[in-house]
Chain A
């Protein structure tokens, strides 16, 4: 095979670079900077961003470009670490501000302790499910595929690189147009046709959703079916059959401006479909756990086998490390419950820690599954249930409810992030053990950074919140409003129970994850589902007309480019807006 002019490869090079200090330190640095920046973004705009793509690109620039020795798997460790650190930004920024906004007196140290416990718990409960989700169920994790495409780009060949760049360019241009207000954020065909907003005929312009659909294909169809059921059947029937308040009943007012929007978003979506969707998600996930119990048992036993392999010979973290981690993290969570409100009593504090741990594990599973199937995370809904549970368990006490809610929110985020990173790792051949070790080492780092950012921004008081035009903290404000309504006694228990029963029933069907997909579709506005569905339909057409090989060679890099393009452009637009004030 050898040719005379081809340079020989070293036969005794240094070990293949994977879990290195350079990758970890650089990942922590990028992750810490992103955590502070994205916490601020979340307080300002109400959403945060994923750091995986940014970290992967910076990793290329520094590890391969500047240090000139980075490998593909080393860069994967770098992005795993950076995104693991950054996960704290969403968990903290969506929950903690509510305590400040409500004017509660609380111990910041207990928040840090709870958040760190949640971070570790999220990691140790999700790691045993790697085999189940990635190897057995083979969930897609579209963003994980996109990051893997980016990591593989040095060796993927010129054609695939061009396709990735092409997808990136199209997506970036469109989203730049949207960010500057030159293009609309959705195509609302229903409004153009004069239809009321409760007959949803709009398509969100989101190349990330389109790309996720292109990567999901047939597996994503139940998600689209769930959206159609919710918005093309239940919503019109509910309005026309008078299941929701009608204009004719509103006799106390003569004018009804914005009636359709109120019925659509406040009643149909807010009071009916969204809570029902959350219930279906929970029931579907529980059914999934029961149905896949034998495979889960097999996954756990493979971890037990890992512990019998000496040294670093195994690719899995030993089960003792994980079970020990669960015990330690649980004890820390319990300590946080004690610190959050010493007057609660030991029994109630213990109950809060036990239920918090169990809920974190289940919600983490739900979020990881939903992200794996569709790339869409129902994190806010699951966190909301977590905070509600804590609220009732603490006897209606807001402070421990939110502090434990911070832990649950961060833990759930860690679950989805870890699983996405493990998917990227699988596709480039990384050792799961090294990825897991790296993230376990640093998953606490983002917590003090994010909490510190919030404390600094609050300052002497009023640094953010509804009255602050600069930093309105939309998610924290929404959570504060929810806590106030919980204090008044409102909770859609009927919808959660009905949804849970539907989700459990769907677990009987042989197609795995049916309940999670249908629940997620009800939980989301329909325009996102439609865009995703268009991607799924296009994938099916391409499979039929072009074949599986073409999908791998052409469609995957284009779809990955779409996802990366939207992620990076959104980040760029946000940074530009912040810089311009």
Chain B
């Protein structure tokens, strides 16, 4: 129940903080509106220019005024208009109409460009204070809910872990599993030591058994990190997982060495893994 309350608070808190956090400061929004109008006008002009160019191309006229392979048009509407004012080409009525439509669109852009220049760029501090006054209260209320929800979830997780630890015995499960893996690996190591003249078939058989240990008990053991952390704290988890992961890596190394048919390395790695698993057992005993 506590966990559910925590999750609800957390979800509302994330939604509120992210929502209010995304709000634009009023002055910045105003500047964005000016930029948006300019963008729309540019989009419209670009579409009209494309129509004009398509008509030129349809009537096999040479590339000019930003069409086809002619030089690109300048950046501002005023410069573009100046370029178009210089044109003295005789064109069909249909093409002239398209050209005029584009020029009219450009004329509408000129004041919008001035408007964007007028809307001064808001500096970082001004944006911060503008945003705080526009959305600060909602944001901070959301932040309180978020932190409260996360804290309730943390307490609930710790409580769940301690209950499981005392009743079903997650630590015991970890210990039992660890003992099983250690025993299996010790047997494997002893058998490898007993082989006087190991063959390729022996290497493949050992590899299969190693894979079986890795994929069953060892994988479960390594996946139990969050529960181990809930039970023993982050330091306890680190004390256990440091030798455990080293053992896991040495088992992987033994597997690679067996594939590469390097018996001494495989033997040494299995031995090293057994030592590391013993180290994990010792660390677990120290924690209890």
A residues near B (Cβ < 8 Å) are 1-3, 6-13, 16, 71-73, 131, 134-138, 152, 154-155, 229-230, 233-234, 237-238, 243-245, 249-250, 252-253, 255-259, 262-263, 266-267, 271-273, 276, 279, 291-292, 294-295, 297-299, 302, 315, 426-431, 485, 488-495, 497-499, 501-502, 505-510, 518, 522, 548-549, 552-553
Contacts and interface: CB of A to CB of B under 8 A. Distances in A.
Given A6-B200, A299-B238, A71 B17 contact: no
Contacts of B288: none
A510 B158 CA distance: 9
Contacts of B200: 6-9
A271 B216 contact: no
Q: Which of A16, A233, A497 has its CB near the most chain B CB atoms (within 10 A)?
A: A16
Interface in B124-165: 124-125, 127-128, 130-132, 139, 143, 146-147, 149-151, 153-154, 157-158
B128 A494 contact: yes
9 contacts: A8-B199, A135-B246, A253-B37, A258-B40, A498-B17, A498-B20, A502-B18, A508-B151, A510-B157
B11 to A, nearest CB: 9
A495 to B, nearest CB: 7
A297 B234 CA distance: 11
A257 B47 contact: yes
B258 A71 contact: no
A392 B112 CA distance: 31
Contact of A271 (B24, B39, B146, B150): B24
A552 B217 CA distance: 13
Contacts of A229: 14-15, 18
Contacts of B14: 229, 502, 506, 518
A549 B216 CA distance: 7
A426 to B, nearest CB: 5
Interface in B1-30: 10, 13-15, 17-25, 28-29
Nearest to B161: A510
B185 interface: no
A136 B43 contact: no
B122 interface: yes
A491 B127 CA distance: 8
Contacts of B223: 138, 548
B245 A135 contact: yes
Q: Which 10 A-B pairs have the closest CB atoms?
A: A429-B253, A155-B259, A498-B21, A135-B245, A493-B124, A429-B252, A508-B150, A494-B131, A298-B238, A6-B199
Given A11-B197, A494-B130, A510-B153, A253 B41 contact: yes
Contacts of B40: 250, 253, 255-259, 262
Chain B interface main SS type: helix
Contacts of B251: 429
Interface of B: 10, 13-15, 17-25, 28-29, 32-33, 35-37, 39-41, 43-44, 47, 108, 111-112, 115, 121-125, 127-128, 130-132, 139, 143, 146-147, 149-151, 153-154, 157-158, 195, 197-203, 205, 207, 215-216, 219-220, 222-223, 225, 230, 233-235, 237-239, 241-242, 245-246, 248-265, 269
A272 B234 contact: no
B197 A2 contact: yes
Contacts of A263: 36
Chain A interface main SS type: helix
Given A258-B43, A502-B146, A9 B124 contact: no
A502 B17 contact: yes
B10 A509 contact: yes
A553 B211 CA distance: 11
A485 B127 CA distance: 15
Given A502-B14, A502-B146, A509 B154 contact: yes
A493 B128 contact: yes
Given A6-B199, A276-B22, A505-B17, A429 B33 contact: no
Given A155-B258, A262-B40, A10 B263 contact: yes
A101 B263 CA distance: 58
Nearest to B233: A294
Contacts of B222: 138
Contacts of B123: 489-491
Contacts of A291: 234
Nearest to A230: B18
A12 B131 CA distance: 72
A290 to B, nearest CB: 11
Q: Which of B22, B111, B251 has its CB near the most chain A CB atoms (within 10 A)?
A: B22
B22 A495 contact: yes
B133 to A, nearest CB: 11
Contacts of B239: 298
Contacts of A252: 37, 41, 111-112, 115
A397 to B, nearest CB: 17
B29 A245 contact: yes
Contact of B219 (A7, A294, A548): A548
Contacts of B199: 1-3, 6-9
A399 to B, nearest CB: 22
A498 B230 CA distance: 30
A155 B256 contact: yes
Contacts of A488: 121
A266 B124 contact: no
A427 B222 CA distance: 13
Contacts of A72: 256, 259-260
B200 to A, nearest CB: 5
A44 to B, nearest CB: 19
A257 B43 contact: yes
A271 B32 contact: yes
Given A13-B264, A250-B36, 9 more contacts: A6-B202, A135-B242, A138-B223, A263-B36, A291-B234, A302-B242, A428-B253, A429-B250, A501-B21
A430 B257 CA distance: 10
A234 B128 contact: no
Given A252-B37, A252-B112, A499-B21, A552 B215 contact: yes
Q: Which of B28, B44, B252, B255 has its CB near the most chain A CB atoms (within 10 A)?
A: B252
A298 B242 contact: yes
B143 A494 contact: no
Given A233-B19, A499-B21, A510-B157, A295 B238 contact: yes
Q: Which of B147, B230, B254 has its CB near the most chain A CB atoms (within 10 A)?
A: B147
A255 B262 CA distance: 74
Nearest to B109: A253
A244 B25 CA distance: 10
A56 to B, nearest CB: 14
Contacts of B234: 291-292, 294-295
A79 to B, nearest CB: 14
Nearest to B206: A1
Nearest to B105: A255
Nearest to A487: B121
A1 B130 contact: no
B180 to A, nearest CB: 16
Given A253-B41, A255-B40, A508-B151, A11 B256 contact: no
Given A155-B207, A250-B33, A276 B263 contact: no
B127 A492 contact: yes
Contact of B131 (A2, A8, A498): A498
Contact of B150 (A134, A267, A427, A505): A505
B252 A428 contact: yes
B26 to A, nearest CB: 11
A506 B225 contact: no
A73 B256 contact: yes
Contacts of B248: 426
A64 to B, nearest CB: 10
Contacts of A490: 121-124
Contacts of A498: 17, 20-21, 131, 139
B215 A553 contact: yes
